[in-house]
Amino acid sequence: MDGSAERMGKGSESTDVRSQFRKLLPHVRTYQELMWLVEGEAALNGKPEISSDAGAPIAASQLLSELEMLEYKEGEAKGLLFTADATRRIQPLQRKIVEIESTRAALNGIYKEETAARAVPDIDEFFTVRMINRHRFDEEHAASPEGARDATPIMIAPGYSVGAEALRRNAIGIAELGRSVATFVVPPTNREFDPRISFPPDTPSLTKIHATALLKAIDTCNEKTFGEGTKFDALGYSQGAINTVVAALAQPEKFRNILLVNPAGLTELDEPYLTRFFKLSKKSFNHRDQVLTEAKRRPLTLRQRFSKEHYLWILDNIFDSGWETFDRSRVMHDEFSPEMQAMGKKGGFKGAVKVADAISRTNLIPMIQKVQQLGVRVAILPAEEDPLFDVAQIEEAGKKAGVEVYGAAGAHANVGFRPGAMASLYIDCFQDMNEAAASKKEVVLPAV
């Protein structure tokens, strides 16, 4: 990514690649940036390898595989680090990994402290809010961030069936990059919204419930840690995009920027309600198939079962060597699937129907235009391979709404499978929105 690459000095004219790699290591903050740094050095080398402390070549692919395993096997990284053949041959890299792990453990400790919030007074329906005040964290840990940090917290408004684990990984990724962050989860059994909030006419009840929770989550965060009147940058994912825009229409003073990620409410806009409903329902099944494909969980064909790669994978699991064939997608799928299934069971078939109904009744274009008139900046971040919400339709809707549409790789589930890379992309997008507003120039699209 352009923003992250620039921060790490990618593209430097230095010809001493080995010293350049070590020179940049102190500025790295996350595993994802470590992986980008390894890829960058390999590209500058012109060879798929990295030099060890002793000057011997290390395969960049092995180093990347080890870093991915260290990132996704949280809690085990300390033990894994010293059995990783490639990583342990670069001592500055090992020290950086220990530093990243220490920061991540501390941030997770803060994040796990949840706050129960009530959306409607005198009604026993609660939802959970979690938050990390990165400015306070830096003060308590005597951290000295490089350059000025954006003090505006980021609120993640999740979509349907986005569970606590996916939220946590995205939130921690954002906090590691220096931004304060907050999340909330509304139980699918909740049925109440605050009738005192002025929502747009004909807003579906499900949207009101989640928009209410978003507004109350901001109030809770400000009461607990950020201070009264603090504005938020909001990240509305999938159905959460609709909830975020509706919340901003009701109380725009609580928002600075809104980034709509893989947003619902911007496709099949010319279709009658029933046609749109059935089209979106059908696409949701395609989305499930694509997630399974990305996670390599689809049934193997006979040819695949007898392939060399499959035998190597079996042997690797038998001997648990792990490094060479570590499969991030499988790990993430194993973490997210039980959680998503549990949420689906709690919400039941009625929950899925309510979500499809709420999306099918919503056209975000006029709402986005109104939100911007109220002083809240909006941009859209679609996924190029999203089977659920067509990227071409979203781009066209974005033009009609008069907002910037960024380009992003991946599919609808990229929020789960690449949380580290997505966190960096979110922050770059918010930064570009602020810079464009300050200069009143056209926003420059961030590369992925």
Average pLDDT over every residue of 197-216:
95
3-state helix, strand, coil in the chain (%, to 5): 55, 10, 35
Cα–Cα nearest to 347, from 232, 187, 194 = 187
Task: Decide if pLDDT at 234 tops 50.
Answer: yes
CA gap 341, 264 in Å, rounded: 21
Q: Worst-scoring range by mean pLDDT, 160-174, 253-267, 321-335?
A: 321-335
pTM: 0.86
Q: Worst-scoring range by mean pLDDT, 162-166, 356-360, 387-391, 399-403?
A: 162-166
The rounded mean pLDDT for the chain is 84
CB 4 within 8 A of CB 16: no
Average pLDDT over every residue of 217-241:
96
Strand order, beta sheet including 181-185: 115-118, 126-132, 181-185, 154-157, 232-237, 255-261, 377-381, 404-405
Q: Worst-scoring range by mean pLDDT, 89-93, 253-257, 316-320?
A: 316-320
- Residue 147 DSSP SS3: coil
Average pLDDT over every residue of 409-422:
82
CA gap 199, 201 in Å, rounded: 6
CA gap 110, 214 in Å, rounded: 20
Most confident range, picked from 53-67, 264-278, 296-310 = 264-278
CA gap 367, 370 in Å, rounded: 5
Residue 339: which pLDDT band, with cuts at 50, 70 and 90? low
User: Which stretches within 73-128 are classed as H helix?
Assistant: 77-81, 91-111
* Residue of 344 and 53 predicted with greater confidence: 53
Residue 431: which pLDDT band, with cuts at 50, 70 and 90? very high
CB 3 within 8 A of CB 423: no
Residue 15: which pLDDT band, with cuts at 50, 70 and 90? very low
CA gap 125, 135 in Å, rounded: 32
Both tokens of 439, joined, read: 């200069």
Task: Decide if pLDDT at 129 tops 70.
Answer: yes
- Residue 199 DSSP SS3: coil
Task: Decide if pLDDT at 330 tops 90.
Answer: no
CA dihedral 40, 43, 44, 47 (to 10 degrees): 130
Task: Decide if pLDDT at 298 tops 70.
Answer: no
Question: How do beta strands 57-59 and 154-157 pair?
Answer: unpaired
Both tokens of 374, joined, read: 């109220």
Chain CA centroid to CA 167, Å: 8
Residue 138: which pLDDT band, with cuts at 50, 70 and 90? very high
183: β partners = 130, 156
- The 10 Å Cβ neighbour count of residue 293 is 12
pLDDT (tens digit per residue) in 369-389: 999 999 999 999 999 988 889
Task: Decide if pLDDT at 345 tops 60.
Answer: no
**Could you give all domains of the chain from N- to C-terminal order, each with its CATH number?**
2-108 (no CATH), 115-273+353-439 (3.40.50.1820)
- Backbone phi and psi for residue 422, each to the nearest 5 degrees, phi listed first: -65, -40
Cα–Cα nearest to 332, from 298, 295, 363 = 295
- Residue 225 DSSP SS3: helix
Residue 70: which pLDDT band, with cuts at 50, 70 and 90? confident
Both tokens of 326, joined, read: 């570590």
* pLDDT score recorded for residue 446: 45
Chain CA centroid to CA 65, Å: 21
In the chain, the percentage of residues whose pLDDT exceeds 90 is 53
CB 277 within 8 A of CB 253: no
Buried b (16+ CB within 10 A) or exposed e, 370-408: bbbeeebbbbbbbbeebbbbbbeebebbbeebebbbbeb
